[in-house]
Structure 1
Amino acid sequence: MGIRVLLVDDQPIVRTGFRAVLTAAGDVDVVGEAGDGPAAERAVASLRPEVVLMDVRMPGGDGLTATERITAAHPDVRVLVVTTFDVDDYVRRALRGGASGFVLKDSDPEDLVRAVRTVHAGESLLAPSVTTRLVRDWVAHEPAPATPDPAADGLTARERDVLVLVARGLSNAEIAAEMVVAESTVKTHVAHLLRKLERRDRVQLVVHAFEAGLVRPS
């Protein structure tokens, strides 16, 4: 049984292209398609996909609202937002709405497949440099935090260091090299951060770090 994927896009030709690429991978099963947000919500409830490839702007109902509702109702479902890399309010809403990562609409086939596999495996920060750029643009439009984040007070010094490096866009392997520790140690720290800060994935850890003022846009 392959990774169960739902394709959501208002353009049938785009869905057809994505389906062809993912099906050819061999370990991905496209279990359904939807042409707008409301249809995506219904499809998730009935088909139970593991990953949803979600377009943003669709005439029948936007993907951002659908992302928020899907991640709230189905916490185990990962949503990959399809973007043209325009950094705007839509992308900021996707971050806050629980999106697990981003994939470019003109991505190479290998990158699309890798994105699905990575998010399915729980490595939500698909492309650290891309996601961090998006978050930095978003946070630049937000006011600085008025008070320190109380949740961060419960972090150890090492956990705080890892959180800052995650927010700067480093992968687990890069953080391990930076801190001169084993990659498994980094994974343990990340797991502790998710639990202590009550965040569902790495993308939300990045958002938290910027919102709490632990990292500021450069």
Structure 2
Amino acid sequence: MKRSSLAAACLLAASAAQAAADAEFAVRWDPAEGGPATIEAVAEALRLPEGKRKSFEVRYFSIVQPADLPPGASAIARERLSGGQMESMYKLRSPVAFPSQGPRADWRCPFKVDAKRQKEVDIGWSAEGVTKTNHSRSCEADGRIADLLPARFMAKPLDCTSSMLRMSSRGIKIERWSLPGGRQAFEVSTNGKDTGAERKAFASGVVQPLIARGARPLQQSKTQLGSAC
């Protein structure tokens, strides 16, 4: 390849990566069905050093669903307590992309205070290596759902909580979830851009080593797992 052609190819690849959507790559499994059953075992499988740990208590809420959501989409509300500090999240999750133009493209967080907003693509894996993609819009703020969401959402806490321990190492998050009913689940995730190269990197560097250790990826989201009261 000529030098000019190589430079053009590199520029095109860089432009494509820059234009790609923010993404979270994740894989989940139930250790009772196989796979690493401790954070240490997960880190060993992925050749990760010990990282910073943090524990959380998580509760999900039932809320009134917006009438204008795309088919199959849902609204989610949850509180997360860590070190005495409460953080709340409101999220819209959809199997199809949200409008990029028109009146519904400029989404506003319903919280009563300024909140950190995020748009990303959530990419999960199956045992067969097939990916499942969802699109999300979310916002987070300090405080309780009861104080942040307007009354019209009729937010009601579910009758169960989950505890979660997270270890972060080299940009990878390992989470051990203790779920309602005594069930456990693990999730390994990282953030990046939704490109073919980053999907392949997560599959080869994270998903395949875990499957090789017996993990059977779950299809349920953390919301579904944590809401099974």
Fold-level similarity (TM above 0.5): no
Which has more radius of gyration?
2
- Normalising by the residue count of structure 2, what TM-score does the alignment of the two structures yield? 0.21
Which protein is richer in strand relative to its size?
A: 2
> Which structure is richer in relative contact order (CA contacts within 8 A, separation 6 or more)?
2
Which protein is richer in helix relative to its size?
A: 1
- Normalising by the residue count of structure 1, what TM-score does the alignment of the two structures yield? 0.22
